[in-house]
Every structure is written in C-alpha cells, then in structure tokens.
A and B are shown apart, each in its own frame.
Chain A
Amino acid sequence: MLLLCFDTATPRVSVAVGRDGDALAEIDLPPGRRHAEELVPAIQEVCAAGGVALDAIAAVCVGIGPGLFTGLRVGVTTAKVLAQALRIPVVGVPTLDLVAFPLRHATRLVVPTIDARRGEVFYALYRGVPGGLQRVSDYAVGSPQELAGELAALGDDVLIAGDGALLYRAEFDELEHVELAGPAAAWPRAAALLELAAPRVEREEFCAPWELEPLYLRASDAEIQWDRRGL
C-alpha cells in the first residue's frame, strides 16, 4: 500500500512516499516559507525518486498543524484536492505528533513545540506507552513562560523538542528536570508522518477530502477582537 505524505506547518516543506510505513524517498527542504512554490515540485521529485506513479497512491497523508497558517493552508488544500482528484482518502495527523514521534523511546514526558509567532508556542504533552507515545494533554498555544511554569509544576522529567523550544531555550534551560532535544529533532518530517499514518490507513481511519481541516488553535484576530468587545 503506497502512501504520499507531506507536512508544511513549519517554515520547512517535507515530503515522503513509502510502502506501508517504510519510506521509498523523502525530501526535507531547508526553511524558506515558500510552501506554495515548493510543495508540488517536491511531490513530483519524491514520486520520481521512489519510482511511484501518482495513480498508484492509496492515500494522501498530511500534517494538519498547528503551525504557520499560510503553510498549513497550502498543505491541507493540496492534500484534499489531490485526494479528491485521485479519488483516494486523506489522513490528517497533527504536526505536534510528528515532532514527538522520533522521541518515542524516551522514558520521560515528551513535549514537542512549534513556534507560534507573537511570543507563543504550540505544544502538547506525551508519555511513552508500549508501541509508541500517548498524548496526555490537549493541543495548546501559550507563552514559553506559561509552558515552563506548567512543566515546573508537574515536576516530571521532561524531554522538550521543536523549533519553539529552541527559540525560547533560555526559558527551559533554567529548569533542572527539563532537557532540550537537539536541532536534529526540531522539525516535523514526512517520514514520521508515514509511520504514524500507515496503521491509520490500515484501520481506515481517514476522512473524506471535504472534511479535512487545519488545526489552527487560534481564532482569527478579528474574531478575537470581536469576542473581547462582546465581554
């Protein structure tokens, strides 16, 4: 079963094709915030490198964020329209799950983060369970200070990762029980998406193209201001 996977929630574009959970080809582009320009050519390149014809793909898998709104919309739109055109299902996986995935063998609390701009980070908390990680919090957005406070209150040993944690490392360096994973684990990779999505496709946990939506975690500014005015 061939899967096409990509994530565009961060400044990087990552694309992979694989059979079941194993990658046949992967491209991880340098950060550039040129999602709209880069994504389709990267898909073509990955398919060529993997020797995969598009009409042989069984499902499209995409990271749905949270992350850069513009990048997310490029990825989610491309995924849903490709799936619609190829008449195949689509699987959306939260991008924080992808950042956490490489750390699944850690015995500590795993906290992936994504830079949310405006002095905030997106994050969630995961614990190791047999066979992978289990998320033990909601997907959240907050200041690094808030997150550091939350982790300090928990008192558990923590492995924190992602570009949000790297950007605000000073906040987390101070905490004795928190270790920062290196830059190698900072970005979501389509290869991780492939491994996470394959069992879901197997179990038919996908959605119809028109149902797929980005995980924004933030209302638009206009709605936020409108709600404040209503108070």
Chain B
Amino acid sequence: MKILGIETSCDETAVAIVEDGRFVRSSVVSSQIDLHARFGGVVPEIASRAHVQLITAVIAEALVEAGCELSDLDAVAACHGPGLAGALLVGVSAAKALALAADIPYVGVNHLEGHLHAAWLEEPDLASPLAVLLVSGGHTMVVAVEDHGKYRVLGQTLDDAAGEAFDKVARLLGLGYPGGPAIDRLAREGDARAVSFPRPMMGNGFDFSFAGLKTAVAYHLRGAPDSVPADIAASFQEAVVDTLVSKLLAAADEIDAPTLVIGGGVAANSRLRERVLELAASTGRQAFLPPPELCTDNGAMIAATAWWRLRLDGPTPLDSGADPSLTLR
C-alpha cells in the first residue's frame, strides 16, 4: 500500500511516498532556510506563501523519484497540526485535492506522532516501551511510547523549545540563522566547562524550561564581553544537552524502557547524539538515533504514520481542517 505524505507545518515543504508504513520510495524536502535567514527565524506569512509556490513541484518530484503515478497511490496524508496555521492549511488543502482527484482516502496526521514514527521507519523492531526525546525549534518533550498509537507525554517545555534557545543564543553570539548547526560546529572548538550555565529544572519532574538559560547567556556576555565565543557555545550546548539527557534518563527509568530514541531537528546535534549513546551504554539500554534527515521535518514520517492511522481509525473526513495547537494523545 503506497501512501503519499505531505508536511508543511513550518518552513519545510516536504512530500514523500512510503509503502506499507515502512519502505521510503521517495522523500523530497524543499527547505526555506534562505527565505527566513535575514529575519533570524521563521516568518509564518513568508513560510505560508512559499508553501503555495512550491507544493506542486515537490509533489511532482516525489512521484517521479518513486516512479509512481497518482493512480498508483492508495491514500494521501498531510500533517494537520500542530504548527503554523497558514502553513498547515496549504498541505491539508493539497492532500485533500489529491484525495478528491484520485478518489482515495485522506488521512490527517499529528506532526508529533509523525516524529515518533520516524524511528520505526529505520528500525521496525525496537523493544518497547520506548523513551523518546522530541526536540526541535517548535517542541521539546519526553514521550513514553508503548506501541503505534499509544503514547503518553511525560513532560514538555514550559517556555522556549530547545531549538529556539539555540537560535537565540546563536543570535547573541552573532552566528546567524539557523542557530543549531552553527553552535554545534563552533562548540567543537570550545571548552564546555569554561562557564557553568544553569541546568534548568534538573531533578525536578519531566518538564523543561529554557528561557532562563538563554537569559543567563545574555547576562554573562554583558558582564564578560571578551568571552571566547567557542567556549560560550560549548558551555551553553553542554547545559542544554545535560538537561535533555537527564530528563530522557528519568523518563526511561519511570517507564522501565529498554530503548532510548531521539527525534526532531535538535536530534541532529552531534553532542546530544554522543551523550545519548553514552547514556544507553552506561545504563544497559539500546539507543536508536534516526539519521538526521528523518529527525528533521519530512513527508516520510507523515506517510508512515498515516499507514498506521488508517488501520487504527480509518480515513479522515474531507470536511476536516487543521489544528495549529493539536496535542499528542
């Protein structure tokens, strides 16, 4: 069964074709980073306009890459939340138009559930329950995953997402946008113990808070303008990673999870990947780190999730819209 999945919740116009919820036949991601770079972050109206412009070309490319015709598809899916309202509606409208034209089912997919499914795309036999750390510019949470469709959010950020903190600190250091990769790169040349930034909410439940950490970096730079940027980047990154890893460990202990998984754009951070592997080794667990292209937003995770959703609750009605603040249930 071939499903075409569309993802337009933020600044990537992405379309993929996945067979049987498992085999990625094509995955095309058109990034808008260049359009947003001069504004230092994603501008919702610009993102929505770019999605309208790009959507037909990205759909066409995904079909060609998979060697498919529209008539070969069995269903079409789109991310219908959470995300930017105007951006989500482009993907939802495109998917419903395809479903209408091809007379096949439409499936609306929760973006967060999509991220959880990215791990299974590479490794379908992960031992459950999974303790999943989802970190990106839009979300930061730890989730207990029992099975497809069975999730429990254990904790999430109370203010900024981790990726937002990376962007803001990168701006303070004059590193440009996007901040995650820039800090990751610079931190390799710095001393992570140079400055002891706070580890927000460590040992305090499963929730996160990153707004204070960003402020701490700003104060530090004001007090010590001659700080070595690489040291600040490394020290800041270490504080974020310490926090993320400790929450992931607490979550894994809570649900007695044999497997640790990470997802979301920040899951591409090299120090986080290193530390999660170490954590798994030191606690006798298995760690699964999907490749960066499956961690960041993509259409394959939407198509894969849709395959399971279709079996669990059938198609989504064509009179449904998008929900920018959809939660994981």
Query: Which residues of A are in contact with B by a Cβ distance under 8 Å?
Result: 34-41, 43-44, 54, 69-70, 73-74, 76-78, 80-82, 84-86, 209-210, 213-214, 216, 220-223, 226
Contact = CB atoms under 8 A, between A and B. Distances in A.
B48 A73 contact: yes
Contacts of B70: 85
A226 B101 contact: no
Contact of A73 (B86, B96, B98): B86
A29 to B, nearest CB: 12
A221 B102 contact: no
Interface string B38-55: 110001011011011101
Nearest to B6: A81
Contact of B97 (A38, A69, A73, A85): A85
Contacts of A76: 52
B83 to A, nearest CB: 13
B93 A84 contact: no
B190 to A, nearest CB: 32
B48 A69 contact: yes
Contacts of A54: 100-101
B125 interface: no
A74 B45 contact: no
Interface residues of B, number: 34
B90 interface: yes
A44 B100 contact: yes
A216 B276 CA distance: 47
Interface string B47-82: 011011101110110000000001000000000000
A216 B49 contact: yes
B301 interface: no
Given A34-B321, A40-B319, A214-B52, A81 B98 contact: yes
Contact of B98 (A36, A38, A85): A85
A78 B49 contact: no
Contacts of A222: 39, 43, 45-46
Nearest to B36: A222
Contacts of B43: 220, 222-223
Given A41-B319, A44-B100, A223 B46 contact: yes
Given A36-B321, A37-B320, A73-B86, A226 B97 contact: no
Contact of B319 (A37, A214, A221, A223): A37
B46 A85 contact: no
A77 B93 contact: yes
* In the complex, the 6 A-B pairs of residues with the closest C-beta atoms, listed nearest first: A85-B101, A220-B45, A81-B97, A222-B43, A77-B93, A36-B321
A85 B318 contact: no
A220 B46 contact: yes
Q: Give the residue among B55, B60, B100 with the most A Cβ atoms within 10 A.
A: B100
B97 A36 contact: no
Contacts of B287: none
Residues of B contacting A: mostly: helix
B70 to A, nearest CB: 5
Interface string B88-114: 011011101110111000000000000
Contacts, number: 97
Contact of A213 (B45, B53, B85, B90): B53
Interface of B: 38-39, 43, 45-46, 48-49, 51-53, 55-57, 59-60, 70, 85-86, 89-90, 92-94, 96-98, 100-102, 318-322
Contacts of A81: 55-56, 59, 93-94, 97-98, 101
B42 to A, nearest CB: 10
5 contacts: A37-B319, A73-B90, A77-B97, A85-B70, A85-B102
Given A37-B321, A40-B100, A70 B86 contact: yes
A178 to B, nearest CB: 33
A222 B92 CA distance: 25
B52 A40 contact: no
B276 to A, nearest CB: 36
A162 B55 CA distance: 32
B92 A36 contact: yes
Nearest to A34: B321
B45 A69 contact: yes
B97 A82 contact: yes
B38 A226 contact: yes
A221 B59 contact: no
Given A70-B89, A73-B89, A73-B90, 5 more contacts: A74-B93, A77-B90, A82-B100, A220-B43, A223-B46
Contacts of B51: 73, 77
A207 B3 CA distance: 28
Contact of B39 (A43, A78, A84, A226): A226
Contacts of B90: 73, 77
A41 B85 contact: no
Contact of A77 (B60, B85, B94, B320): B94
A70 B57 CA distance: 21
B130 to A, nearest CB: 33
Contacts of B100: 40, 43-44, 54, 82
